[in-house]
Structure 1
């Protein structure tokens, strides 16, 4: 159900309204309760009568909220946090998935959703919950009871099997009947199609998993204020991967160089890194969250947004080194391994890093934003966190550099009319000392470029 539709319904078991973030204690109880049941959505800025009262959002409001939730829950919960505008007022949505590690505690107490209330679990109920939840079936293994074999695209399944035979020497005839092939691929449960089967080979996967699409956007400048091109890609997750990669290739610059007698084309970001990041996002996202994978292309960077946090116990620091391959969607991951899209060694993120470094680009960033993993490929070392450390004049200069490629002392003064030549020189020297720009040439012909 969409966020706006939630406002039309009475508060029920999987929806809760809060007027403001000052009710953080009750919000955290609800997060514990949703995590221990079937998940749900909290709308902050809406009263119990479903009137939108709105909330004020500052620069780091959502980030602080996400950090607070992680700090106060055990095991740590990473809900999807976003905001939207309704009647010119801001509403925060907190989407909580059912936890695979129950019970979830808030301040040493565990809660569960009963009707429209959060009930504290007794010690006996906690023991029972642990006993009954010791083996939680992953989302992609669950059967789609309303789907039938008529919903499977035979041609896509055949193409998959042909590629799997080629890439991994899969012992399965591409001409096998649909039911036999899916059974051999472990994509059936009690004779029914699994979520993984629908996403991999469905004729219309979004009929059953509405949020299973990939959104791509090319924006003007360095923020999301204005976009040049935007497209939502539906179909199977294999199709979405290929479509998103083509979108990226369309909107990033390419150059050519001569190696020996051959002309070699090179994109401004390594295609291998983009492909790996998109594949990881689609493979490992939390499909229970009512959001979508996003590819955002800016003048200075490219961001690949997954849905949901890293599976525990992985951290963003682990992604920069050898780590275990922990799969949120084991059936999807197994299928993508069979056709050579991923490996099983937890090396994908290291390859993303290495391809960028080999091309002379800064190391990619791995961050949790609003409860989701974001991979950022950068042209330059300049980041949003660095931006906050600069003066407004220096920020103007960095934006000018991103758009124009270089800047002189004179141009620095033209975009900052109130400044004198010596002060401009000091500002530019400070940017050099911070490693953000470098000086080219000397004397009257000197200019600066981004690092």
Structure 2
């Protein structure tokens, strides 16, 4: 680094990547900043610059650099920032430490640190533990730990295992083999390591009831609520225990029982076209992702599917890792499965497609089915994906003006709808109807729907995970009419104190955004 580089660096001022110290007499605090930068995006620590960005330099004796090196040795695991001096005249210099970025976690004297803007703070314990687990993830994970004593091959569903093998070979995702004994197949699926059966094998193929007290987390909760949040009563409540393949089938069966499917005959073609309220390929992919990426170390944890009058929610216990955020899930991203062995078997079995494309496929399938884009968010140690309903064919034209959830268009139907719903309705409604529907459903849809489909405000709350502008909220909800959005979503939420303006003194500011209040969060939970 030369004088010009130094001037440009100093001119940037202190930030999360730049720290100034007047002299090496402040090296303890300076090395804490080094530790914090190692745990972040890296940066520079400069000795000989005041916190007012004035270059004062300092004398650099042979012991000066030795003292800095001794302080750096208190960082664990060992780190070696580059140390250089830049002469600034009159026998004095600025000492520059160039720090590489990393996930870490690194500690200084047993404590981990983070940069928060231009300041250094102690890393929260939960953040330290998360980073430590991620660092060990390549070699030590729950899924690749040996099963407890007493658990054996006899506890596995052999039929399911050989079905996976045969299907993977048909798909070209496994090479044909003459060795079809159970141990050889499991070794080929990486479910046996050094002669020991792994936890991943139980997740995928565990069957015997005696496994339940040992693996209570292998469950799924399925609920259909008579309302728009969990304060409502159940119309259907199911809980199952079993391996991942059986849980996936249980969840798909539950959705088939409750997701309405509208059918119509395309005029002039005599071809029947069906449209479900939620696209089955998208919900299946979301369920598979939940089973693959969930945290199996939580004994009471379970994947959950909750269907409400105005949305569908799939939850899996466990946080996002490796820098993945809900926003990144909506863009092309590198896939780093939390349970790569389980994910690999799901891939070979044809349950999931190429890694990293699952969330993008979910978005595409929702758009194809006239659903708004799904929303991912992270809350209280779990990851949620929320699906909003599609416009059914009979009302698809109205949806283009008023959005997918207009009260005037959508009765609360949770069973299967068969027949035609695009003019000439000749089928029947089977399953459970949770709204009050009166009148005949013949000819055109002319029956009278008693009651209202509530929940516009609830839909708005569920998509507001950060501060958002009016146009951003409206776009996520898939609404085109500004008046409809303002009158039935935004203003009622503001009036009830469920959201608030970020600039309340200037309601018409072009910088105005909205955020959910504590009252709104309480309503959601």
Q: Quick check: TM above 0.5?
A: yes
Q: What stretches of structure 2 of length at least 5 have no aligned partner?
A: 1-102, 114-120, 392-405, 413-434, 438-445, 453-480, 490-525
Task: Provide, for residues 117-167 of structure 1, a one-character-per-residue CA deviation record: whole Å limited to 9, x for no partner.
Answer: xxx99xxxxxxx99x958541211111032112212211111111111112
Q: What's the counterpart of residue 233 of structure 1?
A: 240
**Cα distance, 1:265 vs. partner?**
2.3
Partner of residue 282 from structure 2, selected from 233, 256, 273:
273
Does the CA-based 8 Å contact 2:192-2:198 persist in structure 1? yes
Partner of residue 374 from structure 2, selected from 364, 374, 382:
364
Does the CA-based 8 Å contact 1:148-1:192 persist in structure 2? no
Once the two structures are superposed, the pairs formed by residues 387-398 of structure 1 within 5 Å of their partners are none
Q: Report SS of the residue matched to 1:139.
A: coil
**Cα distance, 1:176 vs. partner?**
0.8
Q: What's the counterpart of residue 198 of structure 2?
A: 194
**TM-score, length basis structure 2:** 0.50
Distance 1:293 1:238, change over 3 A: same
Partner of residue 139 from structure 1, selected from 136, 142, 146:
142
Distance 1:194 1:257, change over 3 A: same
Distance 1:134 1:165, change over 3 A: closer
**Cα distance, 1:109 vs. partner?**
6.1
Task: Give the aligned CA root-mean-square deviation in angstroms.
Answer: 3.5
Once the two structures are superposed, the pairs formed by residues 67-86 of structure 1 within 5 Å of their partners are none
Does the CA-based 8 Å contact 1:158-1:174 persist in structure 2? no
Does the CA-based 8 Å contact 2:278-2:390 persist in structure 1? no
Does the CA-based 8 Å contact 1:214-1:292 persist in structure 2? yes
Partner of residue 486 from structure 2, selected from 420, 434, 437:
434
**Cα distance, 1:294 vs. partner?**
0.2
Q: Report SS of the residue matched to 2:248.
A: helix
**Cα distance, 1:366 vs. partner?**
0.7
Partner of residue 312 from structure 1, selected from 322, 343, 348:
322
1:301 aligns with 2:308: no
Does the CA-based 8 Å contact 2:277-2:390 persist in structure 1? no
Partner of residue 225 from structure 2, selected from 219, 222, 227:
219
Point out which structure has higher relative CO (alpha carbons under 8 A, 6+ apart).
1
Q: Report SS of the residue matched to 1:278.
A: helix
Q: Report SS of the residue matched to 2:346.
A: helix
Does the CA-based 8 Å contact 1:172-1:181 persist in structure 2? no
Q: What's the counterpart of residue 152 of structure 1?
A: 156
**Cα distance, 1:108 vs. partner?**
2.5
Does the CA-based 8 Å contact 1:142-1:189 persist in structure 2? no
**Cα distance, 1:369 vs. partner?**
2.0
Does the CA-based 8 Å contact 2:275-2:369 persist in structure 1? no
**Cα distance, 1:236 vs. partner?**
1.1
**Cα distance, 1:282 vs. partner?**
0.7
Q: Report SS of the residue matched to 2:272.
A: strand
**TM-score, length basis structure 1:** 0.57
Q: What's the counterpart of residue 332 of structure 2?
A: 322
Q: What stretches of structure 1 of length at least 5 have no aligned partner?
A: 1-99, 113-119, 122-128, 382-396, 413-428, 438-451
Determine the C-alpha separation between the residues in 2 that align with 1:256 and 1:135: 48
1:161 aligns with 2:165: yes
**Cα distance, 1:279 vs. partner?**
0.7
